[in-house]
Amino acid sequence: MKKRITAILMASGFLALTLVSCGEKFTPLSEEQINAQVDSAFNSVAEAKKAELKAACETEMAAKVAAKVSELQSAAAPAVQ
């Protein structure tokens, strides 16, 4: 009986020591820290999205300009001949 109690106490002590030394203590973030993390994540995604949309817009604009130039050239070609 004493051996069993001793073994249980030793096992629980080992388990408690392992759990305590295993990780960092939990410290909740303040409202400012949460806002700072959210802002930084939003800004990084927003900048990437803006660059992507700007590139798509420039590509689309170049295609529209080329199509309009081609249309005007083909419309003017029969009149010139």
25-53 pLDDT, tens digit each: 778 889 999 999 999 999 989 999 999 99
Taking the C-alpha atoms of residue 14 and residue 8, their distance in angstroms, rounded to an integer, is 10
In a domain, 12, yes or no: no
Q: Is residue 4 part of a domain?
A: no
Q: Is residue 79 part of a domain?
A: yes
First to last CA, the chain: 114
In which domain, by residue range, is 67 found?
49-81
Domain assignment present for residue 67? The answer is yes
| Count of the separate structural domains present in the chain | 1
Instruction: Answer whether 0.95 is exceeded by the pTM.
Output: no
Rounded to an integer, the average pLDDT of 5-16 is: 82
- DSSP readout, 11-23? HHHHHHHHHHHHS
In a domain? residue 77: yes
